[in-house]
Amino acid sequence: MNKKQKKMLKRIIVASILFIIIKVVKLPEYIEIPLFLVAYLEIGYDILLKAFKGIRNRQVFDENFLMAVATVGAIGLKSFDEATAVMLFYQIGEWFQSYAVGKSRKNITELMDIRPDYANVEDENGNLEQVDPDEVEIGTIIVVKPGEKVAIDGIVVEGSSTLNTAALTGESLPREVSENDEVISGCINMTGLLKIKTTKEFGESTVSKILDLVENASSKKSRSEAFISRFARIYTPAVCYSALALFLLPPVFNLIMSNPADFGTWLYRALTFLVISCPCALVISIPLSFFAGIGGASNQGVLVKGSNYLEALASCKYVVFDKTGTMTQGVFEVAGIHHANIPEEKLLEYAAMAESYSTHPISKSLLKAYGNTIDKSRIENVEEISGHGVKAVIDGVQVLAGNDKLMKMYNIPYQECHSIGTIVHVAIDGKYAGHIVISDMLKPHAKEAIEALKKAGIKQTVMLTGDVRSVADKVASELHIDKVYSELLPQDKVNKVEELLSLKHSKENLAFVGDGINDAPVLSRADIGIAMGALGSDAAIEAADIVLMDDDPLKISKAIKIAKKCIHIVYENIYFAIGVKLICLLLGAIGIANMWVAIFADVGVMIIAVLNAIRALNVKNL
């Protein structure tokens, strides 16, 4: 509890003790009434003050005004116990609401406790000095000891270790890092000492951007929140005027009909009407539901930029995927060696050595598959032939490594390959030696992700890719994706998404899932843009509405389930709060409901709605 909550709790306890003593002990009226007033003022002076300030600032119609008018009116009718009880229970409800919101904020802060307090920097004597991360410049060497957080994004220049990325991704799987590996802020160093050369300022680092994103998510209101805000602005003055009408019209009608006016009875009913009508349950619980939903999602490694996107995701019926880096790992690997007329190891060695000077992903995959250090002294006369491949002399023999165009250029008969992937043909001294198949590997949970989406209520899954049709069809078939469009340029992807948007129902939403780097135009065009965050890539965080921090496509269905649960809770609270209030307002108007019913309709409903809203935090087992 903070100081304000502790102070209010003391006031509640003092007022409650006074109230109980007055109700239990039989006291003379001249003592009882002053004690009730003391209890009333002890618990309600701040409400009266806020109501007065509201009237003075011409912002009259709020819950403080309703409580002040209702309780002062009750005192005027000499219902001192009811006036005190209404104010007491209202403040108990407000305190509970404040405590619950604070608790949920604390939970979310703990879940996202990734902000480092300091960075270790070596001084001139080699001693470590703890400095504010904001003061560390780009290019500074920081030291991260085991158990400490990585303060700023950078590259490892010395040491190797295991990093715990759970706070960023929601996954407990550790990540191994060593020299020349990139690391991002917010991870926890688990084992070895690391020296990291910073590549960004703290304000631009991953941890700062993530925290800023989560903290500012509440500024982007959903349609439900906007509706409740507009509703409260119209509703509160409407019930005030209704209460005034309830107080004046029936007595006037009675006077016209020559019956007793009975102003006291109708004033009591009007005051009860005001207490019942307080819109606290809606105004508090709806934003809290979204806040809790966004917090629960962030704990699972799903960053949602605003409650409007969470609401849109709950209505998502179509999911469109990019292929490379989204459903596949974007890492090319040797998948097979075919038709080799020399030992396969030797064929791979020749290809890797010929490609060793290239930075192309295909070259890197050959070098990785070869696995040995390249002896550059064995390689001579390397010539890269654009769009075809490489020619080189290795150990005195001419080696050609490339596509079928390279084989045709040198009139070398080659063997067609029917496998899906990139084919690297190899010829030695003008004779065909075989070919190597290189494929982009599917992500471990890609197939499971599509199945989970269909179970979550997605009508159609679509894949868009710039790859050739054979590769795209094979991936779509393996993953059981409904539709696939291949050989698309970036602008073609935008056009295709616009076409899909035009075919869907207006109340259904379409999400596009991409890597956030090459797909920014499509991400922004879709109803919801979901980016594979690549452990916090800047482009992903900037381009998308929702970011999956661990690149796992299975998290898409998780995000949809979180959104649906959150919206379900929101509508539960709306229907429950409005339903109970309407019933109690009707009962109050006809004289069946008294102030005690009014207290339940206000405070009781608010407490139930807040407790229900906090359920949105619990998303682990969805």
Encoding tokens for residue 406? 């390279």
- Residues identified as active-site: 322
Are 277 and 569 in contact by the 8 Å Cβ rule? The answer is: no
pLDDT in tens, 93-127: 778 767 766 665 665 555 556 678 889 998 777 78
Amino acid at site 338: H
Query: For position 540, what pLDDT does the model report?
Result: 61
Are 159 and 194 in contact by the 8 Å Cβ rule? The answer is: yes
Query: For position 569, what pLDDT does the model report?
Result: 93
Amino acid at site 598: A
Query: For position 400, what pLDDT does the model report?
Result: 94
Tell me, rounded to whole angstroms, the distance of Cα 122 from its chain centroid: 37
Q: At what angle do helices 263-277 and 554-589 cross, to 10 degrees?
A: 180
Amino acid at site 1: M
Are 213 and 309 in contact by the 8 Å Cβ rule? The answer is: no
Q: Please state, in angstroms and rounded to a whole number, the distance separating the CA atoms of residues 242 and 240.
A: 5
Which stretch of DSSP H or E encloses residue 514?
Answer: strand 509-514
Strand partners, 129: 121
Encoding tokens for residue 259? 């019956």
C-alpha torsion 309→311→314→318, nearest 10: -40
- Mean pLDDT, consecutive 10-residue segments, the chain of 622 residues? 82 90 86 90 89 83 78 82 83 77 60 74 84 90 91 91 74 76 86 91 79 63 70 78 88 86 85 79 80 83 85 93 81 84 91 85 84 89 85 93 90 85 89 89 88 93 83 87 85 88 90 76 86 66 79 90 93 89 84 80 83 85 78
Instruction: Show Cβ contacts of residue 484 under 8 Å, excluding neighbours closer than 6 positions.
Output: 462, 463, 464, 465, 472, 473, 475, 476
Are 464 and 445 in contact by the 8 Å Cβ rule? The answer is: no
Query: For position 166, what pLDDT does the model report?
Result: 67
Query: For position 418, what pLDDT does the model report?
Result: 76
Query: For position 203, what pLDDT does the model report?
Result: 83
User: CA geometry: angle at 529 spanning 527 and 535, to 5°?
Assistant: 165
SS3 54: helix
Instruction: Show Cβ contacts of residue 396 under 8 Å, excluding neighbours closer than 6 positions.
Output: none
- Global pTM reads 0.71
Q: Please state, in angstroms and rounded to a whole number, the distance separating the CA atoms of residues 73 and 588.
A: 16
Amino acid at site 3: K
